A = this chain, B = another copy of it.
Amino acid sequence: MLDRSAAVPLWQQVLTDLRQRLADGQFTAAFPGELDLVEQYGVSRHTVREALRRLRAEGIVTAARGRRPRLTPAEVEQPLGALASLFTAVEARGLEQRSIVRRLDVRADGVVASRLGLEESAPLVYLERLRLAGDEPLALDRAWLPADVAAPLLDADFTHTALYDELATYCDIRLSGGQEQVRAVLATSGERRLLNLPPTAALLLVERTGCLNGRPLEFRHTLVRGDRFAVTASLDARGAGLAVSPRPTG
């Protein structure tokens, strides 16, 4: 299985094979221990650890003393970005969170379809929700997904659960990346009424394209009250981390 005369390092060959086995779902039950892998591949523990180091750096597995390595739970390994953090941040503050589902149907939308790489007439599941934190309106959230994969969502109840949870439960889809764009816009009169805002107000508009294996599967359009929430980014040498959090003041 391993080629000791190849130019690529042994640990990298082990890493590649582990990735393949992960993709094949061989480790859904349990991840093998270091010594298991030493025996399976016939390499030293040092080499196995070098390969595992990478998987840990990528957040795919977690390890600790005395415990076998484990696959990182899906919720943790998928940083869904600002939007996901927004609602978890609200929960962390102890605010009850719920949604009012305003629309849940199938429709076509040429503009959105083209952003998802579909034909303009492609049927899309459309979900429009007003999100509340406690009793106060927090955001107006619109999401479009291809109907061929997301149709089961039409039976889901979104008042208390997150779209990503339902996607996993009903469609067995776990989005693994995407692109988000945040900008400032003025609230329209309809949005002001829904979000309980004064006559003129600024909103954060978060547009998100969620991807699975590089293919766009979700387009999302979320208006967040700019007076109560902010996007924060921590910058360090490793790169930028993104989160949306309630503003400490106001």
Interface residues of A, Cβ cutoff 8 Å to B: 57-60, 77-82, 176-186, 200-204, 226, 229-242, 247
Contact = CB atoms under 8 A, between A and B. Distances in A.
A232 B186 contact: no
Given A186-B200, A202-B186, A237 B77 contact: yes
Max chain B CB contacts within 10 Å: which of A181, A235, A236?
A235
Nearest to A177: B236
A178 to B, nearest CB: 5
Contacts of A232: 179-182
A176 B237 CA distance: 7
Contacts of A203: 184, 202
Given A202-B202, A203-B202, A237-B177, A230 B58 contact: no
A237 B60 contact: yes
A184 B238 contact: no
Nearest to A81: B235
A136 to B, nearest CB: 17
B202 A79 contact: no
Which applies to chain A's interface (DSSP): helix, strand, loop or mixed?
strand
Contacts of A180: 232-235
Given A81-B233, A182-B182, A233-B240, 8 more contacts: A79-B235, A79-B237, A180-B232, A180-B235, A181-B232, A184-B202, A185-B202, A239-B241
A82 B233 CA distance: 9
A78 B236 CA distance: 8
A32 B233 CA distance: 34
Given A57-B57, A202-B203, A226-B202, A182 B239 contact: no
B238 A241 contact: no
B239 A179 contact: no
A214 B185 CA distance: 34
B234 A179 contact: yes
B181 A230 contact: yes
A224 to B, nearest CB: 8
Contacts of A176: 236-237
Nearest to A78: B237
Contacts of A81: 233, 235, 240
A235 B177 contact: yes
Nearest to A223: B184
